[in-house]
Amino acid sequence: MSHQFQKLIVEPLRLHPVDMPLLIVIDALDEGFNKDFLTILCEDVLHLPPMIRIFVTSRPDDDIMRYLSPKSSHIYRYPLDIHDPSNRNDVLIYIRHHLHGIAVRLKLGESWPTDDVIEELATKSEGLFIWASTVINYIEKSLSPEDTLLSILSESTTNLAPGKKMDRLYENILGRCNWDDTSFVKGYNLLMGTIMALRTPLSISAIKSLHTASDARLIDRIMDSTLGSLLPTSSDVSRPLQVLHLSFREFVTARADPPFFVDQKSHSQRLVLSCLQVLNETLKDDIPGTGYLAESDEYFTVPIVSSDNLSEEAWYACRFWTEHVLDVRSPSRELQSSLAVFLGTKGIIRWMEVIISLGRYQKWIPVWEWMKCQTASSLKQKFLVLCTMHLSA
């Protein structure tokens, strides 16, 4: 990554210098980083022209704090105090604006909520914006905004660390769901399990396409429930769906107790079957941009496979089925059957062509090691032949 930074950013800027100040903003670094990227911020950015500055926001992750130490002369750290009066006033303004908006949209009357209630809610937020925004979403999505607001005000969540405060709020919201309804429990696990296990966010439309028709209806039901307050809403069904804040992911996958807890690994195992079923259906016939590996011509140009010719869920399955399969232990007969179909048809060749078009290198050795340990000998032999073809392509 450091080499790419030098070749794609630093060197072009030397050849074509900027003649005005340029600010690069990296928001919420803690939600997606690796140590290579931290090394770039710590060391390689020194090679950028002096006209360029980088502004980074992040929670105080241990690795980030260690790499981006103020001991480095080019790094200036500015901690934000959520209890600062100016920050608390910003939260108050935010809460007042959005609650008044809810009152107008839901026709709750001009007197709702009172100024005293708004100030009490702002005080209860303790300057934590993510708490305030989650509460606003929760109030708006609830069947009775008035009762929900009073319930939140009655909760004792003051003087808690920010992480604990958010956990308590998530417990409050999830606890109001109907966990006695087995259909709701199944829908919760289908939707939240998929979101947590996906390697990259998908739209709600693509998520439903990875499931059966009956399961897709359950997912729709969950989206319309109180649980929807923890997910961004949009009329655009093609917009990627993800949780509002990383703290919720951390809560349900690491700190929550059943029935709130979501086992990320087990849902990743479930997704590999969905991915293979999508691939077996999508790649059973030629699509524009595939078929060239079957030609006898020794010299050919790799064509482009357009995104218009593959659905969003098919693109995802092409990219990530090999990662999900590594999470599987003791594969079911249904999974082995889908894998046998995939390896035994031209679909696997078309998949290779799509992957080549995407320019994404697939690591075969981990999948081969998994095949040796987890599948029948006939599948291993098929996969070994395909590995040989891939290496010689």
**Run of H or E including 241:** strand 240-241
Stated as kind and residue range, the H or E segment containing 23 is: strand 22-26
Residue 328 gets the label, from left (phi > 0), alpha (psi -120 to 50) or beta, of beta
| Cross-strand partners of 55 | 25
Take residue 50 and report the two structure tokens written for it: 């002096």
Question: Which of 234, 226, 240 shows the shortest CA–CA distance to 198?
Answer: 240
Together in a domain, 159 and 214: no
Work out the angle at residue 252's Cα, subtended by the Cα atoms of residues 246 and 256, and round it to the nearest 5 degrees.
Answer: 130
Phi, psi of 131, deg, nearest 5: -65, -45
Please state whether the peptide bond connecting residue 259 to the residue before it is cis, i.e. omega within 30 degrees of 0. Answer: yes
- What's the rounded Cα separation, in Å, for the pair 128 and 114? 21
* Structural domains of the chain, count: 4
Residues spanned by the domain of 386 = 265-392
Q: What digits encode the pLDDT tens for the residues 56-108? A: 999 888 899 999 987 788 899 988 888 899 999 999 999 999 999 999 999 99
**Could you give the 3-state DSSP secondary structure of residue 56?**
strand
Quote the tokens at residue 93: 């303004």
* CB-based contact 45:74 (threshold 8 Å): yes
Question: What global pTM score does this model have?
Answer: 0.82
- Distance separating alpha carbons of residues 192 and 190, to the nearest angstrom: 6
- Residue 247 within any structural domain of the chain: yes
- 75 within some domain: no
- Tell me: do 188 and 171 sit in the same domain: no
Residue after which a domain boundary falls, among 221, 242, 262: 262
Domain assignment of residue 73, yes or no: no
Closest CA to 210 of 372, 324, 43: 324
Residues 310 and 239 in one domain: no
Per-residue pLDDT of the chain (393 residues; tens, 9 = 90+): 889 999 999 999 989 888 899 999 999 899 888 999 999 999 999 999 989 999 999 988 889 999 998 778 889 998 888 889 999 999 999 999 999 999 999 999 989 999 999 999 999 999 999 999 999 999 998 889 999 999 999 988 778 888 999 999 999 999 989 999 999 999 999 999 999 999 999 999 999 999 999 999 999 988 888 787 888 766 777 888 988 788 999 999 999 999 999 999 999 999 999 999 999 999 988 888 787 776 656 666 777 787 788 899 999 999 999 999 999 988 888 998 998 898 877 888 888 888 888 777 677 788 878 887 876 665 666 565 555 554 444
Q: pLDDT for 18-40, tens place per residue?
A: 889 999 999 989 988 899 999 99
**Is 77 part of any domain?**
no
Check: CB of residue 226 under 8 Å from CB of residue 142.
yes
Give yes or no: residues 306 and 349 share one domain: yes
Residue with tokens 């059943």: 258
Q: Are residues 252 and 296 in the same domain?
A: no
CA distance 356 to 290: 10
